[in-house]
Amino acid sequence: MPCCDVFRLREGKIESLNCYPSGTVLFGRLGVLNNLEAAVSR
C-alpha cells in the first residue's frame, strides 16, 4: 500500500517512525468505497 514514512533521527539513530498510509487505497481494500453510502449513514 502506498504510504509516507517519516523518520526522526537523533545522533544518527532512529528515534521515531510514523507511517501514513494512503486513505483512499486503504478504504478501497476494505470495501468502504464500494458502498460509501452505507459507511457514512452509521
Which three cell numbers mark 7? 523518520
pLDDT of 39: 66
Would you say residue 13 has pLDDT above 80?
yes
pLDDT for residue 42 is more than 70: no
Tally of domains in the chain: 1
Per-residue pLDDT tens for 21-39?
898 888 888 887 777 777 6
What are the angstrom distances between the C-alpha of 27 and each of 10, 24, 41?
A: 34, 5, 16
Quote the domain boundaries for residue 34: 3-40
Q: What was the pLDDT predicted at 1?
A: 80
Spatial distance between the Cα atoms of 39 and 8, rounded to a whole number of angstroms: 35
| Residue 5, pLDDT score | 95
